[in-house]
């Protein structure tokens, strides 16, 4: 089914059947239920967890099939290396800018100033799990964890970096087989269509998942938990919005497209991320939408999954901003050199934090475990509001990865800018049939 055949049907369906409107209504109902009936809201947690689990079970096979077929079907394997190098350079540059933005805003606005919290009075039990996990995951252990214990072990656990590693190796292996590898590549491509078909079915229950996740969040933590730390929350949301509009907006403008138009193009995915607080819930759909823009499958398959571990703009802003907030709240003085040291440490600890809810909090704990000046038990201050912060982290991460994919695809000469603008102006509704690879070369 072609995009042209799908689009008119999507335009003329009743408003209540449009998926992103259903998600919006579900989010609003979840907030109301969690606020007025908090105990019942907490009971809705399995709905959100179930939807995330359904999507996560499909991520590993989708990435594997997409990357393997993309690499094995690409004539010039040098291009794969070139795209990978471009992606890593881009990720490191923009991620460093995000870390610096969080640091600058934290120093300028000082959202933690005036809290005067005595670390000895903080109950550290609420963060004990995060602290233990952070201390266990050293830099060497983190790098070694990229290698799975077995080929199928990576697929069963769904670790993004491990899946990406075996996918790249498998893609090159099939490519080196020449003609003999073509039937294998074709079979993998057909398998990808099956997996995307399953995702199209699952995504129809996104409103239920968003409702459950939002009802639990508001019911468990309450809107009242926002009041005491509203300065940090407001600062983080404002900083992330300015980063998207100014930094990513400038990158988009230099590349020849509008960041506002791009945000409109992925609005369906953004709403699901808002409801579930996890950018992983829309990873397969983002890959399809990037291909629909005209990006080739090898570029999409390398940039989007890799970006979920190496290009976490929202998480990076949060890490440096939250670190300075905790230092200010506990009256811990930091020199400019200590702050720059935090930035350098965060550049390492932020890598590998996937889009799962709470991953940003774990990486923050990992950063503080290396920075002895700031009491690590002060993390307990943020436990109550981290769920609300994770939504903004996930939204910013998703937009950043989408922009990265478009920019790198443009640098490869894949996208026609006029067609790009037209496609962004008329996006397909989330859940409509998009054939894998149908949008790219």
pLDDT of residue 116: 75
**CA distances, 298 to each of 84, 179, 316, 326, 441 (Å):** 10, 19, 27, 42, 9
The answer to the question of residue 436 being in a domain is: no
Q: Is residue 435 part of a domain?
A: no
Instruction: Tell me the pLDDT tens digit for each residue of 98-156.
Output: 999 999 998 898 888 877 777 666 555 555 555 555 555 555 666 677 788 888 888 88
Q: What pLDDT does residue 361 have?
A: 66
Q: Phi and psi at residue 401, in whole multiples of 5°? A: -70, -35
Q: Which of 133-147, 156-170, 282-296, 334-348 has the lowest mean pLDDT?
A: 133-147
| pLDDT (average), residues 403-427 | 84
User: Is 430 a domain residue?
Assistant: no
Give the per-residue pLDDT at 125: 56
CA angle 303, 305, 311 (to 5 degrees): 70
Q: Is residue 22 part of a domain?
A: yes
Give domain status of residue 382, yes or no: yes
Question: Average pLDDT of the chain?
Answer: 78
Task: Say what the pLDDT of residue 4 is.
Answer: 38
Residue at 335 is within a domain: yes
User: Are 318 and 389 contacting, i.e. CB atoms less than 8 angstroms apart?
Assistant: yes
Count the domains in the chain: 1
Domain membership of residue 441 (yes or no) is: no
CB-side exposure of 205: number of CA atoms within 13 Å?
A: 16
* Residue that wins the pLDDT comparison between 428 and 41: 41
Where is pLDDT greater, at 170 or 390? 170
Q: What is the domain range of residue 368?
A: 3-425
Q: Which CATH number fits the domain that encloses residue 338? A: 1.10.3860.10
Rounded mean pLDDT of 237-244?
94
Instruction: Please check whether residue 16 lies inside any domain of the structure.
Output: yes
């Amino acid at each position: 089914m072609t995009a042209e055949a799908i689009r008119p049907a999507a335009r003329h369906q009743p408003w209540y059947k449009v998926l992103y409107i259903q998600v919006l209504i579900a989010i609003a109902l979840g907030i109301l239920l969690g606020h007025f009936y908090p105990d019942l809201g907490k009971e809705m947690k399995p709905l959100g967890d179930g939807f995330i689990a359904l999507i996560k079970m499909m991520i590993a096979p989708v990435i594997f099939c997409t990357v393997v077929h993309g690499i094995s079907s690409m004539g010039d394997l040098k291009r794969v290396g070139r795209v990978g190098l471009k992606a890593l350079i881009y990720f490191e540059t923009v991620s460093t800018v995000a870390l610096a933005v969080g640091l600058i805003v934290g120093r300028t606005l000082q959202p933690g100033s005036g809290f005067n919290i005595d670390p000895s009075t903080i109950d550290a039990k609420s963060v004990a799990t995060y602290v233990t996990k952070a201390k266990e995951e050293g830099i060497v252990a983190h790098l070694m964890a990229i290698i799975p214990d077995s080929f199928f072990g990576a697929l069963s656990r769904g670790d993004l970096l491990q899946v990406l590693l075996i996918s790249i190796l498998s893609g090159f292996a099939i490519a080196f087989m020449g003609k003999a590898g073509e039937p294998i590549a074709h079979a993998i491509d057909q398998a990808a269509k099956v997996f995307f078909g399953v995702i199209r079915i699952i995504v129809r229950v996104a409103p239920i998942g968003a409702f459950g996740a939002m009802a639990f969040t508001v019911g468990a933590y309450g809107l009242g938990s926002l009041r005491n730390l509203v300065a940090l929350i407001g600062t983080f949301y404002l900083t992330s919005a300015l980063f998207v509009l100014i930094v990513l907006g400038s990158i988009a403008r230099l590349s020849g497209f509008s960041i506002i138009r791009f945000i409109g193009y992925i609005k369906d995915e953004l709403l699901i991320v808002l409801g579930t607080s996890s950018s992983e819930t829309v990873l397969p759909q983002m890959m399809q939408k990037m291909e629909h823009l005209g990006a080739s499958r090898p570029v999409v398959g390398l940039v989007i999954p890799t970006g979920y571990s190496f290009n976490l703009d929202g998480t990076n802003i949060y890490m440096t901003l939250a670190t300075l907030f905790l230092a200010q709240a506990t009256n811990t003085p930091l020199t400019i050199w200590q702050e720059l040291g935090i930035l350098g440490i965060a550049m390492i600890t932020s890598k590998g934090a996937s889009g799962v809810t709470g991953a940003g909090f774990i990486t923050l704990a990992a950063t503080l475990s290396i920075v002895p000046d700031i009491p690590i038990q002060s993390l307990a201050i943020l436990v109550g509001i981290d769920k609300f912060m994770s939504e903004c982290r996930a939204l910013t991460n998703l937009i950043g990865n989408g922009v990265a994919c478009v920019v790198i695809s443009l640098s490869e000469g894949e996208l026609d800018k006029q067609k790009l603008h037209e496609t962004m102006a008329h996006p397909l509704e989330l859940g409509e049939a998009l054939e894998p690879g149908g949008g790219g070369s």
